[in-house]
């Protein structure tokens, strides 16, 4: 009896996760990828930590680029996969994203834009925000990290627009 219940539970879990995955793939495949994004982070003792930081920063880069007017799908390519050759790649190397001794959150990264036409260095980007230690929990303190990243990535968006690789629509 216990085996049958466990088997039914596993089958139900598989069906539910399969349905969720199928819907996500259909939504993603509905629009072509316009830009691929890779994020490199400084090495640490924990590979899991590095992946979490890279995923978090990639999410912020893609969402802020969309807020700045970028149209099209941005596909994050993790370090285990290889980008497609025909689609431009924004390669971001995160240098630091941490609180300094004075209590400011610093975000520093470099970026390169690779396309079938060639490779162009976009330069070094920095952003700073005040860490609010008075906040009661880490979720509220995370806003300092978000603001520092937003400051740096906003500069990236304007530089990408100047290169001519990415066209931003006229804002109304």
Q: For domain 32-163, which CATH number applies: 3.30.160, 3.30.450, 1.20.140, 3.40.50?
A: 3.30.160
Token reading at 101: 């001794």
Residue-wise pLDDT for 137-151, tens only, equals 666 677 888 899 999
Please list the alpha-helical segments (H only) found in the chain: 2-29, 47-67, 138-163
What is the per-residue pLDDT across 23-74, written as a single tens digit (0 to 9) for each?
Answer: 333 345 577 899 999 999 988 867 788 899 999 999 999 999 999 888 889 9
> How many angstroms separate the Cα of 156 from the Cα of each of 40, 99, 120, 124, 145?
16, 21, 13, 9, 17
Q: What are the structural domain ranges in the chain? A: 1-30, 32-163
Q: Please tell me the pTM assigned to this model.
A: 0.73
């Amino acid at each position: 009896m216990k085996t049958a219940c466990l088997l039914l539970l596993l089958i139900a879990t598989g069906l539910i996760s399969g349905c969720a995955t199928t819907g996500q793939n259909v939504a993603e495949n509905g629009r072509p990828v316009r830009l691929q994004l890779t994020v490199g982070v400084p090495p640490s003792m924990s590979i899991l930590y590095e992946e979490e930081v890279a995923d978090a920063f990639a999410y912020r880069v893609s969402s802020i680029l969309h807020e700045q007017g970028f149209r099209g799908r941005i596909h994050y390519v993790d370090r285990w996969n290889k980008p497609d050759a025909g689609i431009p790649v924004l390669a971001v190397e995160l240098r630091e994203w941490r609180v300094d001794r004075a209590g400011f959150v610093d975000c520093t990264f470099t970026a390169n834009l690779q396309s079938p036409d060639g490779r162009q260095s976009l330069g070094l980007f920095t952003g700073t925000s005040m860490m609010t230690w008075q906040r009661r929990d880490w979720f509220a303190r995370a806003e300092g990290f978000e603001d520092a990243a937003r400051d740096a990535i906003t500069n990236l968006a304007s530089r990408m627009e100047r290169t001519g690789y990415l066209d931003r629509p006229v804002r109304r």
